[in-house]
Structure 1
């Protein structure tokens, strides 16, 4: 089967993203004439989208009825339609609902957030909205794919108040939600001082590159990494020992302004790229009291390191030390807000949070600090539990 580049404007014969060229087959006659697309499932698989999406898109653009027979692998558009016309419309669908709006890479997933469909790019980490005015949007909302992140934990308020975005950028939660606990978390977080409240000349400021500040950060990082070495699970130490993480930490503390590309290159050079423990080092070396904004800034890099449960636990471990040891006076009371940010950025899944909350651990901090962190996180954990119960109840109602 002939393949073509997914991106319409790409003429590069070595372009890595390919899809089958669309095939159209006209069947029937008179009022029953229709166009069958026999390879729509293969095309959709190349685009990581359900085949019903581009088929329905054709119907929206052509003003025609469509039929999706997934069991028979038949996707039909009523009427006789030219194959080249359908191919052109397919490229339009790709531009609007597949390609990243920032880097134009097709490695995207669709994510629903506050009644907006976003293209979540795995290549550059950007989240760009689709054209919400298009008729296909309604179909997608009603027919989310299996990978569609339609989590009531994040969207329960917006589902009750369809059409409006009610999540403040700083809290990433709906202040006017029916959920009393959610409102209380956001209300209390709004009264907390942010990083700008503190003197920019404090010793913890990461942009302080004086020799004394760098030395202090290196000493603290060495202590932190020593504790991680004692309490860690050891699976990263077999191929180079602790020194490679010390060296990675030295690089980060000496050059806090290094770009994400530079950090990735150094991690690969040292052999720690993809290692979950490197995330602990990165958070310890680069993050400070402005952790919420830093989580947003470094999200693409954190995700590229890895997204397994171990990587997610390491993110939480690094945050435990950052919050409970480095800046407890600044960050302890802001734990719910920090964790809400982590959750909404898809850095840590709900299941990992729930497992983390089950019991205190001495892996990253002392037992007392670990208990304190979990106590501070209790409102957020309860919010997750309540939302899960509500989701289960809604699903039972739907099935009935």
Structure 2
């Protein structure tokens, strides 16, 4: 039996909780038929929560060698003779590139494939999502052979657990729920947020009985009660309007408030389903570090964005935010759109329509044109990604 080592071999702590079997190799055959077998690849992959084909294929990519998988027979082979030391070094590289969180370097991650075919490491330890190096050859293999897990909701494109390990209890529980697909996905996001906010997954569900609503309204105070039935029109210039209320609250509490806190506050104000709420939150919840702040609130915006109208209002908030409040952030528009797109907040067709049609609804025409002009690199990326998908489908046919 192989000895057990730290997943991060640069960590000397003997109490380090993340462990895996030391990689073993066995040379078989001779001459042109010589090959290296990794007899415990399945055990290693299980510890990393990745399919055993991924590190095996990574070896082949790095060594320029053919690889063979016999999953039923549990045999993973790299052509040629390769010593264990060299393969262990390559395994360290695989772990660094495709397992460890890019933020906290914790191996407790899942691989997620976005609808734009971007591979992300989703960290359950710190809650961050970091993109893998999409230039590596292994990414093509992963996209064609996505990780398998029990079915989870997807707005567009798979969101899979990385690895051959069994589904988590949370995932199994979700499968038994009768909520719509969007709610299932957001509840999963909320569970991940719990690592930071110490809130349980079921805290997304708020008691909406008449008694509970009345109690929350009473807690808000009489001054606010008359504003709870505000509609979608723009007659909210009153300083006590719910939109002004949530905007001010979001600005004052953005450092400490969790996504769940914000959603509940919107519910208390009766505007959690209003498209204008998204516009207001974008303008008041973020700072000049919006690109790095979006992951913290990705679940919130995905939950609240339920229609094309919601998406357009959110984009209107982005226009005001970068075009008026933070004009120096205009060059960051592609990154902002990418972040929102990866969290399934914005749909491809809505982004394309928005990016090619100047509008004076939220800002003046010149600013609108300037913001959309800045979005062109992302629009081009969407077009190229779609063309590549069509080409791959054609090749497969």
TM-score by length of 2: 0.48
The structure, 1 or 2, with the larger RCO (C-alpha pairs under 8 Å, 6+ apart) is: 1
TM-score, with structure 1 as normaliser: 0.47
